[in-house]
Amino acid sequence: MKLLVNNIATLAGIDGGGVLKKSGAEMAQFDAIDQAWMLVEDGIITEFDTEKDRPAPAEVDSVVDAHGGMVLPCWCDSHTHIVYAGSREREFVDKINGLSYAEIARRGGGILNSADRLHELPEQQLYEQAMERVREVISKGTGAIEIKSGYGLNTQDELKMLRVIARIQESTPLRVVSTFLGAHAVSRAYVGRQSEYVDLIVDEMLPAVAAEGLANYVDVFCDQGFFTPEETARILEAGAKYGMRGKIHGQELAPSGGVEVAVRHRALSVDHLESMTDEDIALLRDTDTIPTALPGTSFFLNMPFAPARKMIAAGLPMAIASDYNPGSTPSGDMKFVVSLACIKMRLQPAEAFNAATINGAAAMGLSGEYGSIAPGKVANFFITRPISSIDFIPYAYTTPIIDRVFLVGQEQ
Ligand code: NIG
Ligand code: FE
């Protein structure tokens, strides 16, 4: 099955293959060609070039006319919590009234509130609620996504979440990676007995998750008021026995050792970083741990943004992701995340596009197959309406510019 995408004003985010991430100054390079076409065969990108060498429509099975729009690789959203029950707009109002995220958590709201609801909700309904969000993010151009557990907080409910994540992968063309986040918060049943809860994660949850092959990665909310670096290290060591690398929540609420423990245990990524220090940036140099900023969370919680310019100046391969979750950022709109990265973290549009595509793919271990327009990569791309330049995408920060989305070469 050959598909020709024709009449592309600009084909952007291209490379010749073999680029697995972009670091530091390389992030300013988001290569593009004008007046382009692209050939897709059986869901894989095979060729692209400028208009002059275009294959004849008779040589292919179908033709998509981009009508002078731009084509970009789909977003690779490397940090989400989109499997959850219900919503938490009451806490949203509490926050407007002045309560901090940490105060809401201390009052038994926050993550524990979502865990109560998830416990009550049958698996089928949990799947249906998550699928509404999946359809939404696909329509907004996301083609690969990481989804975490972490609203179960007991073995049965964590497995329920992870089974829903597996079902999303089976039932959609979205590429899904799954992360076990039993250490998202101490469950109500274990309040005051945090170390016993960590025992439960290590001795019962992780083996059960591994036995069903339900998670690619393991995550810990390593932060002030949540899990310590020592507990994080213990969980990362336990995960490593099952072949799960870490993807750590660190340095959101305070400089709390999250980066250090992530680097020491060769985590694939360390995410949030709103409170990261210059020492943390130095620690990340020459490691294969990808620092991931979540600008939607800073925006929604009115918190500082991660020091993105400093990370790029230090030569790091920074990714950005949505963190879509019911508490700290109920949005998976990666175009808006790209805008926030430009507006609030002072990224150049090219840097933000790389952070949201190839580096996001790298933060999921997927950049050999996703994250750019390259021969041999999965044909996950979107077509914009005709726009004046690529910088218009983050500039027009609420305009729905993404017109058509293709996953594995199929229009969604
Ligand atoms: O990534 N920081 C920890 N966890 C989520 C929030 C989860 C929630 O509030 O439900 C986050 O922001
Ligand atoms: Fe998160």
Give the tens place of pLDDT for each residue, 102-130.
Answer: 788 777 679 999 999 999 999 999 999 99
**Which of 298, 300, 328 most suits a substitution to test ligand 1, by most atoms within 8 Å of the C-beta?**
328
Residues 6+ apart with CB under 8 A from 98: none
The CATH number of domain 75-362, selected from 1.20.120.450, 3.20.20.140, 3.40.50.720, 3.30.110.40 = 3.20.20.140
Residue 95 — pLDDT band, cuts 50, 70, 90? confident
Residue 114 CA: which ligand 1 atom is closest? 10
Between 3 and 110, whose confidence is greater? Answer: 3
pLDDT in tens, 223-279: 999 999 999 999 999 999 999 999 999 999 999 899 999 999 999 999 999 999 999
Cα four-point dihedral sign 160, 163, 165, 171: negative
**Ligand 1 centroid to residue 223 C-alpha, Å:** 11
pLDDT in tens, 356-388: 999 999 999 999 999 999 999 999 999 999 999
pLDDT, position 322? 98
User: Which residues line ligand 1 at a C-beta cut-off of 6 Å?
Assistant: 81, 110-111, 114, 221, 249, 252, 297, 323, 325-328
Concatenated DSSP letters for 121-166? S-HHHHHHHHHHHHHHHHHTTEEEEEEE--S--SHHHHHHHHHHHH
**Ligand 1 centroid to residue 40 C-alpha, Å:** 38
Between 53 and 13, whose confidence is greater? Answer: 13
pLDDT, position 279? 97
The phi, psi pair for 290, rounded to 5°, reads: -95, 120
Residue 166 has which token pair?
């597996």
pLDDT, position 57? 87
Residues forming CATH 3.20.20.140 domain(s) in the chain: 75-362
**Ligand 2 centroid to residue 67 C-alpha, Å:** 38
pLDDT, position 53? 81
Segments of 274-386 assigned E as strands:
290-293, 319-320, 381-384
What count of other Cβ atoms lies within 10 Å of the Cβ of residue 14?
Answer: 22
- Residue identifier of the C-alpha nearest atom 1 of ligand 1: 323
Summary mean pLDDT of the chain: 96
Neighbours of ion ligand 2 (CB under 5 A): 323
- Residue identifier of the C-alpha nearest atom 12 of ligand 1: 328
User: Which ligand approaches the C-alpha of residue 330 most closely?
Assistant: 1
Mean local confidence (pLDDT), 67-92: 96
Residues forming CATH 2.30.40.10 domain(s) in the chain: 2-73+369-411
**Ligand 2 centroid to residue 242 C-alpha, Å:** 22
Mean local confidence (pLDDT), 69-78: 99
pLDDT, position 206? 98
Which position has the token pair 């175009």?
335
CATH H-level, domain 2-73+369-411: superfamily: Urease, subunit C, domain 1 (2.30.40.10)
Residue 101 CA: which ligand 1 atom is closest? 9
